[in-house]
């Protein structure tokens, strides 16, 4: 038997191929890509499942011959639209990696401000493109899969990639972060005076922030059937102003569909 065949990964005894994978970034901090590299304990095993052909954070080689493309970051410039369209044409599967790609992320907070004022404050008289809002990938192309989080959780990415390689269906968790938080035996942060979006945010992070006694900011977007009205009541009962709820819901963009309705009852200056 050929020695290279002997080294093939198998699933239930059947050899599985290593798809060609590329990682790209648009407007982002590139933290989600760094998450892929940071967990050295499982990195080699992860790399054995795929053939990476384009990953600026990790290698100098470049190739446009790939089957799966992971794209981090939101779209904020016209050249990024062109780049994203090219990636979409090349990829059989396009995956939005992280909150910026899925929802616009922290970048979309700029959409509330005058872009010309922001440009003047940040760049002075330098010539930069200023009039584009930060938008998620799906505003421009079809997305095949989203991986939520800011940053993404390495273990979740590894599980999803494994399922892609062996052809298993991928299902995101439907319940909220609170379920994971209780399973981890954390004290409820509301009981120690900390606001938290855990009751309405999609699980899958293993209650990452509450584990460190930091309230959830909703980076993974809404859980299925998220009851934002009930979240509003909980925040009020715990003594938190509605603006605190809105600030958290707006932070990553995942709760954008709920914001306009919540703002209706607020004073104009809010």
Full set of structural domains in the chain with CATH? 3-166 (3.40.50.700), 177-263 (no CATH)
For residues 270 and 72, what is the distance between their CA atoms, to the nearest angstrom?
32
Query: What local confidence, expressed as pLDDT, does residue 88 receive?
Result: 98
Higher pLDDT, 49 or 144: 144
- C-alpha–C-alpha distance, residues 184 and 209, integer Å: 12
Q: Which position has the higher pLDDT, 217 or 261?
A: 217
Average of per-residue pLDDT across 47-76: 94
pLDDT for position 6: 45
> What average pLDDT score do residues 204-225 get?
96
Residue 4 confidence (pLDDT): 42
**Structure tokens given for 248:** 């958290």
Mean pLDDT of the chain: 90
pLDDT digits (tens, 9 = 90+) for 78-101: 999 999 999 999 999 999 999 999
Burial 196-207 (b: 16+ CB within 10 A, else e): bbbbbbbbbbeb
Q: Mean pLDDT over residues 215-231, rounded?
A: 96
pLDDT, tens digit, for every residue of 4-40?
444 567 666 666 789 999 999 999 999 999 999 887 7
For residues 235 and 243, what is the distance between their CA atoms, to the nearest angstrom?
10
Which comes out higher in pLDDT, residue 131 or 24? 24
């Amino acid at each position: 038997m050929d020695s290279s065949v002997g080294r093939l990964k198998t699933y239930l005894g059947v050899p599985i191929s290593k798809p060609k994978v590329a990682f790209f970034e648009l407007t982002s901090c590139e933290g989600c890509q760094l998450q892929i590299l940071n967990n050295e304990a499982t990195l080699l095993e992860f790399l054995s499942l795929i053939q990476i052909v384009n990953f600026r954070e990790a290698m100098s080689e470049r190739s446009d011959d790939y089957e799966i493309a992971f794209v981090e970051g939101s779209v904020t410039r016209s050249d990024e639209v062109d780049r994203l369209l090219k990636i979409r044409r090349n990829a059989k599967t396009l995956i939005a990696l992280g909150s910026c790609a899925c929802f616009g992320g922290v970048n979309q907070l700029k959409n509330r401000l005058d872009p010309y004022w922001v440009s003047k404050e940040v760049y002075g008289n330098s010539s930069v493109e200023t009039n584009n809002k930060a938008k998620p990938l799906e505003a421009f192309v079809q997305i095949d899969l989203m991986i939520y989080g800011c940053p993404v959780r390495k273990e979740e990415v590894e599980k999803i990639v494994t399922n892609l390689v062996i052809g298993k269906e991928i299902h995101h968790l439907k319940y909220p972060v609170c379920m994971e938080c209780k399973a981890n035996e954390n004290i409820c942060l509301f009981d120690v005076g900390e606001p938290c979006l855990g009751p309405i945010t999609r699980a899958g992070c293993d209650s990452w922030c509450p584990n460190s006694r930091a309230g959830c900011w909703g980076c993974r977007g809404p859980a299925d059937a998220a009851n934002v009205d009930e979240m509003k009541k909980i925040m009020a009962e715990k003594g938190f102003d509605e603006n605190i709820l809105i600030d958290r819901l707006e932070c990553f963009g995942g709760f954008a569909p709920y914001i306009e309705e919540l703002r209706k009852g607020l004073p104009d200056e809010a």
